[in-house]
Amino acid sequence: MRLTAELILKSPDYINPCKDRELNLRGNKISSIENLGATKNQFDTIDFSDNEISKVENFPKLDRVKTLLFNNNHIKNFEEDFGSSLPHLRSLILSNNRINNLSDLEPLTKLSEIKFISLLENPVSKKPNYRLYLIYLIPHLKIIDFKKVKKIEREESKKLFGQSKLILEKYSTDKNKDKSKTFEPGEGVNGNSNNKTTTTPAKKLTEEEKKLIRLQIDNAKTMEEINILEAKLRSGDI
């Protein structure tokens, strides 16, 4: 389904537990991002979860947006300069997508205010030193995959990537070379579809766990705590 201006205008919007105005575009089988000018920059959070989006792109200037939710899509990469359209984006939730290469994360460096990111259940999160690489790539990140970035991780990241360009280049490999060596969902070794792979579904929270998180949100003392708990509740990740 296309993301039309009509779909945007008839989709539900509300004030979420973080006191932000949110647009809900979940579960519409949207295949690509377009026509977001129809939002008129009126939302703090946009929820694209449970769609079929393959690339994060085509954002107009939306300087009000602070949170984007892309759980359970088909995302593999990002438009090179999409961050320039989202100058105040702080939280980016990408759990259960198809991002495979560390080099595909490089456009995220353009997100100057990003603090919180989740790449759980993406192939890239299984790469060696993925977390340290992400910390080096985006030093202002505070939380990765719902876990706080520790001081010792920042130090290890600098030691591993900050002192050797050769090591950094090893992880920032050419995208085409990376893709020639990796499997894509639905493809076999030679590009045929006989040996299919599937994306692992994210573990869903039980009703009891959801109630517990909602209680924790009510008792949270800081906006950072609320953001973490709200993201967990929406993504379904424990």
Tens digits of residue pLDDT in 115-154: 999 999 999 999 999 999 999 999 999 999 999 999 999 9
Provide the pLDDT for residue 106. Answer: 93
Confidence tier at 204 by pLDDT (50, 70, 90): low
Whether 2 shows a pLDDT value over 70: the answer reads yes
Is 165 part of a structural domain of the chain?
A: yes
Q: What's the whole-number average pLDDT of the chain?
A: 82
Q: What percent of the chain has pLDDT over 90?
A: 64
Provide the pLDDT for residue 181. Answer: 45
Q: Where in the sequence is the domain holding 161, given as residue range(s)?
A: 5-198
Provide the pLDDT for residue 180. Answer: 42
Is 225 part of a structural domain of the chain?
A: no
Is 178 part of a structural domain of the chain?
A: yes
Is 214 part of a structural domain of the chain?
A: no
| 148 close to 141: Cβ distance less than 8 angstroms | no
Mean pLDDT of 36-45: 97
Is 217 part of a structural domain of the chain?
A: no
Q: Which of 84, 109, 92, 113 is nearest to 45 (CA)?
A: 92
DSSP 222: S
CA distances from 159 to 133, 135, 163, 208 (A): 11, 12, 6, 42
Q: Which of 200, 135, 127 is nearest to 170 (CA)?
A: 127
β-pair type (45-47, 21-24): parallel
Whether 41 shows a pLDDT value over 70: the answer reads yes
Residue 66, domain CATH: 3.80.10.10
Is 72 part of a structural domain of the chain?
A: yes
What's the number of domains the chain is made of? 1
Provide the pLDDT for residue 178. Answer: 46
Q: Which of 83, 37, 88 is nearest to 60 (CA)?
A: 37
